[in-house]
A and B are shown apart, each in its own frame.
Chain A
Amino acid sequence: MNFLILLPYILLGTLFAAVISLVPALHIFSVANIIVFYYLRLAGIFPGDTFPVFMMSMLVTWSIINTLPALFLGAPDESAMFIVLPGQKYMMLGKGYEAAVLSGIGALGAIIVLGLMTPVTFKIFPVIRSLLVPHMAWILTLIIAYILMSEWPKATLRPKTKLGRAIDGWKSCGAGILTFILSGILGIFIMSKPYIPIEKAFMNIVPAFVGLYALPWVITNIISKSEIPPQYISRSVSVDYNLIGRGTFAGMLGGSFAALMPVVTGGIGGLLAGHATAQKDERIFIISQGASKTAYYVGAFLLFFVPYLSHLRRGGMAWMVSPLYTAYGITDYCLALATIALSGGLGFLLLLPLSRFTINIITKFDYRIVSLVTTFIVFAMIGGMVGLRGIFVMIVAGGIGLIPVLFHSRRMNCMGVLLVPITLNMIGIGPAVVRLLGLI
């Protein structure tokens, strides 16, 4: 297809994603869901290859710009500073703009590496995947074990007795384990007992995810007493090629592992990469998180275009696009790469003014009010898409998602919602557990 016909769709996807990226708690997959829902009704809007190109440019731009609401909307309480990411620490020091740029640099680095990795993607990824997929049962068990075992107690060691010290120390990691178990049980319920009509089955997990991750965030913001400090817009960032290289490498490591392996998400990939590379510099960490996010979301969708991977459906976007489009041969892969390069470059250029725009917004409007509006949007979105049952699941998940926030444990423990039911099924005891819970 002529690239000139595709170009407006790339630009449209980029601009559209730039706008929705600024809406807090709005995930790109939720928007993509709505687009797919209306795609069939609006046939003719996306001729030929324009549909995957539009979706890809949206995904790329969102992965770059969506850092902004996470960064600027919500000042973590100082007592939570130790567990928030360095990006938010930067924001609390008035250097949020610098953090946004660093994250964008990481995303750009990931886009370049994704292109350079083409020979690896074509030759090595299919081999690794064919080898590891039959072993997913123990690999997922291993990942669960690491998530649970690698969270260390945040102890004061002040209580006089041994038991007192242990209880004090175990509060945070005990809460982490509890979160994992509860979200795991929620996952088993959702996956074994469908609660929404069959035609909306693809949205089964969405309310749980929104509840586990977005709802606690906005609730914490609403009740937070912290103020966002004035933000300094620097003309340059203190970073060199060495730091960029190390950050991009670390992010790519986690992001590509997550993109390739079933069930492993970007957050888990980021955790593993962060621990594997043991980077202390906060700038490297921020760059790596930007790179990891892009490598995970964009990389997973890019695998859908790789001819040697039989149109692998990794990640939500590939699942949504696959019934409507099939990629053929190397030309489509190159088209996807060109889209990534173009929308990635535009996305980065848009990141700079949009960062300034967001800073402008947070200085004029209280982020608590923005969070309150977001809560209404979240409820309306889930209510509209999934119905009252969806809202109920979201509220239950929100309760579970608040545990790590209150006890300062890792929010990644919420991933039990996916990891537990899938791993139990893979090791063959899923049906027994479902029976035990009285669900069948």
Chain B
Amino acid sequence: MKGLTHFSVGAALATCFPQAVDMALENYSVILALGGVFGILPDTLDFKLAMFLEENDYVIDPASSEYLKDPRDMKTIDPQKIADKMAQAIDQAWKTGKLIKLQLHTVQMGGDLWRHYEVSYDTKNNEVVIEIGPVVTMSQVPTEFPGIPRDFKERATAKTACNILQTQSQASRIDIFNGPSFGYMKKEGGVEIIFLPWHRQWSHSPLAGVAFGLLGWLLMSGITGSLRTGAIYGLIIALGFISHIICDLTGFMGANLLWPFRKTRTEGFHFLKASNPIANLLMVYASGLLIIWNLNYFSPKPIFQLYWMEYFGFFLILPAALLIVLARRFAKKEKEEASRIRAEEEVAESEEEFIADTR
């Protein structure tokens, strides 16, 4: 899920503690904010720390002479050499049984120009597929470059000695800033492709959440002089952190639930994509509603009197149902429109071919 979703869920869960709401109201305590902070912390740890600590077995820099057809001309990137090296890494994982990590770098062609390339894995033919594309600007728009036309495409494949198993079917597009990293892990029947092997590991384990909670408990007990108050801080911290992991499990990549006992991620439930706008919006909205409900419910002088079923039924279930219905309807329309355009293009192409044949 998106960062704001984790953040709101963590904050909403914090408001479920009446003592914490009291502390926020009476003493201007920021205890409730801790729920949000620890709700987003797992990703912060990954993208601001773990990413930099990763050591890779293979580093592919397509602009280095090793991957160029002409070692003096960085326009001549050889996709075959990249594909071969990646296949070699996969084969090494298969032979040694060790986790092999590979980092791909971007290719900067000038102050603000980058070479676009794509990496994908063909699980049917057990091949690594590399496609070198045109030069793009920082806004990822293809642009003319001396010797590289805007529609440039060069493809190469390399066979691996084992089956490729992969959970993510999308191609990785590489151009601006940094490239992705992959982990290759021997499994029964082949080598599994692990996208961003440093992501959602120790930082996404429930044990880390419990550890942070315990630390918070000890620290705040010392500061406030009350074990009970410290325990509320600890609970809010742990709950915020663990809520992040639970939300992430709704997607595909999952999280490392058994760290430090296991080194691999447990796959998610495949309910939805982490970037799904409707799911993210609904989670943020539901969190906002829960915060308002709790602040009112635990207030010494509640401002509104509603039965919880009325409140959540009218303000959450109804709008959510309406939003989902509308989103599906629009998605269906978009799909129909796309297939209509495709059909029209196919007809136009056949007509052109027919005219060309008859001339």
Chain A residues engaging chain B, CB cutoff 8 angstroms: 77-82, 89, 92-93, 127-128, 130-132, 134-135, 137-139, 141-142, 145-146, 149-150, 152-158, 162, 165-166, 169-170, 173, 242, 272, 275-280, 426-428
| Cβ–Cβ < 8 Å partners of B29 in chain A | 137-138, 427
| Cβ–Cβ < 8 Å partners of A137 in chain B | 24, 28-30
CB contact under 8 A between A277 and B33, given known A78-B112, A134-B25: no
Q: Pick the residue among A81, A145, A242, A272 that contacts B33 (CB under 8 A).
A: A145
Q: How far is the CA of A396 from the CA of B179 in the complex (A)?
A: 38
Contact A152 B47, beta carbon cutoff 8 Å: yes
Q: How far is the CA of A155 from the CA of B334 in the complex (A)?
A: 36
| Cβ–Cβ < 8 Å partners of B11 in chain A | 142
CB contact under 8 A between A155 and B178, given known A138-B33, A146-B40, A150-B4: yes
Of B164-172, B244-252, B255-263, B277-285, the one touching chain A: B277-285
Contact A128 B281, beta carbon cutoff 8 Å: no
Chain B residue, CB-CB nearest to A142: B33
| Cβ–Cβ < 8 Å partners of B176 in chain A | 82
Distance (Å) between the CB of B153 and the closest chain A CB?
22
CB contact under 8 A between A277 and B281, given known A82-B176, A428-B28: yes
Contact B51 A157, beta carbon cutoff 8 Å: yes
Chain B residue, CB-CB nearest to A153: B48
Contact A154 B177, beta carbon cutoff 8 Å: yes
Q: Pick the residue among B5, B30, B61 that contacts A141 (CB under 8 A).
A: B30
12 A-B pairs whose Cβ atoms sit less than 8 Å apart in the complex: A81-B112, A137-B29, A145-B33, A149-B41, A149-B44, A153-B47, A272-B4, A276-B284, A277-B280, A277-B281, A278-B276, A280-B275
Closest 4 CB pairs of A and B: A78-B112, A81-B138, A275-B4, A166-B52
CB contact under 8 A between A242 and B333, given known A141-B33, A142-B11, A275-B2: yes
Q: How far is the CA of A277 from the CA of B32 in the complex (A)?
A: 23
Contact B32 A426, beta carbon cutoff 8 Å: no
Chain A residue, CB-CB nearest to B181: A157
**What 1/0 mask marks residues of chain B from 291 to 329 whose CB sits below 8 Å from any chain A CB?**
010011001000110000000000000000000000000
| Cβ–Cβ < 8 Å partners of B44 in chain A | 149
| Residue from B176, B276, B281 with most neighbouring chain A CB atoms (10 Å) | B281
Chain A residue, CB-CB nearest to B48: A153
Of B76-84, B103-111, B224-232, the one touching chain A: B103-111
Contact B139 A138, beta carbon cutoff 8 Å: no
Question: A-B contact count, CB below 8 Å?
Answer: 143
B7 within 8 A of A: yes
Q: Pick the residue among A139, A156, A278 that contacts B177 (CB under 8 A).
A: A156
B268 within 8 A of A: no
Q: How far is the CA of A194 from the CA of B334 in the complex (A)?
A: 57
| Cβ–Cβ < 8 Å partners of B277 in chain A | 277-280
Contact A146 B47, beta carbon cutoff 8 Å: no
CB contact under 8 A between A155 and B28, given known A89-B139, A276-B281: no
| Cβ–Cβ < 8 Å partners of A152 in chain B | 47-48
Contact B295 A135, beta carbon cutoff 8 Å: yes
Q: How far is the CA of A278 from the CA of B304 in the complex (A)?
A: 32
Chain A residue, CB-CB nearest to B302: A131
B37 within 8 A of A: yes
B18 within 8 A of A: no
B141 within 8 A of A: yes
Contact A78 B111, beta carbon cutoff 8 Å: yes
Q: What DSSP secondary structure best describes chain A's contact surface?
A: helix
Contact A131 B141, beta carbon cutoff 8 Å: no
Contact A132 B295, beta carbon cutoff 8 Å: yes
B53 within 8 A of A: yes
Q: How far is the CA of A341 from the CA of B178 in the complex (A)?
A: 47
Contact A79 B299, beta carbon cutoff 8 Å: no
Chain B residue, CB-CB nearest to A167: B52
7 A-B pairs besides A130-B303, A150-B40 with CB distance below 8 A are A131-B299, A132-B292, A135-B295, A138-B28, A146-B36, A149-B41, A170-B48
Distance (Å) between the CB of A430 and the closest chain B CB?
11
**What 1/0 mask marks residues of chain B from 6 to 27 whose CB sits below 8 Å from any chain A CB?**
0110010000000000001100
| Cβ–Cβ < 8 Å partners of A134 in chain B | 25
Contact B105 A158, beta carbon cutoff 8 Å: yes
CB contact under 8 A between A173 and B4, given known A145-B37, A146-B40: no
Contact B33 A157, beta carbon cutoff 8 Å: no
Contact A426 B28, beta carbon cutoff 8 Å: yes
Distance (Å) between the CB of B45 and the closest chain A CB?
11
| Cβ–Cβ < 8 Å partners of B37 in chain A | 142, 145, 149
Contact A81 B139, beta carbon cutoff 8 Å: yes
Q: How far is the CA of A138 from the CA of B4 in the complex (A)?
A: 16
Chain A residue, CB-CB nearest to B280: A278
| CB-contacts of B127-152 with A (<8 A) | 137-139, 141
Q: How far is the CA of A81 from the CA of B106 in the complex (A)?
A: 17
Distance (Å) between the CB of A278 and the closest chain B CB?
4
Contact A82 B138, beta carbon cutoff 8 Å: yes
Q: How far is the CA of A81 from the CA of B49 in the complex (A)?
A: 26
Distance (Å) between the CB of B222 and the closest chain A CB?
19
| Cβ–Cβ < 8 Å partners of B296 in chain A | 131
Q: How far is the CA of A77 from the CA of B138 in the complex (A)?
A: 10
Contact A165 B52, beta carbon cutoff 8 Å: yes
**What 1/0 mask marks residues of chain B from 49 to 67 whose CB sits below 8 Å from any chain A CB?**
1011101000001000000
| Cβ–Cβ < 8 Å partners of A142 in chain B | 7, 11, 32-33, 36-37
Contact B3 A275, beta carbon cutoff 8 Å: yes
Chain A residue, CB-CB nearest to B112: A78
| Cβ–Cβ < 8 Å partners of A131 in chain B | 292, 295-296, 299, 303
| Cβ–Cβ < 8 Å partners of A141 in chain B | 30, 33
Chain B residue, CB-CB nearest to A241: B330
Chain B residue, CB-CB nearest to A92: B139
Distance (Å) between the CB of A34 and the closest chain B CB?
38
| Cβ–Cβ < 8 Å partners of B161 in chain A | none
Distance (Å) between the CB of A310 and the closest chain B CB?
15
Q: Pick the residue among B25, B137, B275 that contacts A81 (CB under 8 A).
A: B137
Q: Pick the residue among A78, A80, A135, A242 that contacts B24 (CB under 8 A).
A: A135
